[in-house]
Amino acid sequence: MTQPEPPLPEPSQQLRLARQLCDQVRDRALLVPYQGRWTAPGPLDAALLTLAEDGDIGRLFVDQAGAVVLVDGAGRHTVNSSLAAFAACAHAYTEAMREVARRGFDDGDHDDELEQIERDLLRRLAGADSAALGGPDGFWAVAAEEIGLGTAPFPRASAPDPPRPAEPAPRSEDTAYAPRVLVALTEADRTRLFTPQQWKRLTALAPVTLVGAPGMIETAVELARRTAAARGNPAPQPTVLLTTDAAALTPGLWAKLPALRLVCLLAAPAPACAAPSGTGIRVLAPDADGDTVVDEIARGLAT
Tens-digit pLDDT string for the chain (303 aa)? 455 544 433 446 778 888 888 888 888 889 998 877 887 665 434 445 788 887 656 788 888 888 899 887 777 889 999 999 999 999 999 999 998 888 877 565 677 888 999 999 999 999 999 888 877 678 999 899 988 888 887 775 444 444 433 333 333 333 445 788 888 888 788 888 888 888 888 888 888 877 877 778 888 788 777 766 766 667 778 899 998 888 888 888 888 888 899 999 987 677 777 888 888 888 888 788 999 999 999 988 887
Q: State which residues form the domain around 292.
A: 177-302
Where is the domain boundary, 129, 149, 169? Answer: 149
Are 205 and 134 contained in the same domain?
A: no
Are 213 and 295 contained in the same domain?
A: yes
Where is the domain boundary, 149, 166, 198? Answer: 149
Are 25 and 137 contained in the same domain?
A: yes
Are 186 and 68 contained in the same domain?
A: no
In a domain? residue 166: no
In a domain? residue 74: yes
Are 142 and 201 contained in the same domain?
A: no
In a domain? residue 159: no
In a domain? residue 83: yes
pTM, two decimals, is 0.51
Are 121 and 29 contained in the same domain?
A: yes
Are 229 and 273 contained in the same domain?
A: yes
Report the helix count and the strand count for the chain, using DSSP H and E. 10, 10
d(CA 142, CA 161): 24
Are 223 and 104 contained in the same domain?
A: no
The beta-strand segments (E) located in the chain are 37-38, 49-54, 58-62, 68-72, 75-80, 181-184, 208-211, 240-243, 262-266, 280-284
The CATH code of the domain that includes 241 is 3.40.50
Express the helix, strand and coil content of the chain in percent, nearest 5 each.
40, 15, 45
In a domain? residue 170: no
What's the structural domain count of the chain? Answer: 2
In a domain? residue 1: no
Are 219 and 145 contained in the same domain?
A: no
Spatial neighbors of 98 by CB under 8 A, at least 6 apart, are 31, 155, 157, 159
Are 134 and 91 contained in the same domain?
A: yes
Are 89 and 184 contained in the same domain?
A: no
Are 59 and 132 contained in the same domain?
A: yes
pLDDT (tens digit per residue) in 24-83: 888 888 999 887 788 766 543 444 578 888 765 678 888 888 889 988 777 788 999 999
Which of 51, 49, 53, 123 minimizes the C-alpha distance to 93?
A: 123
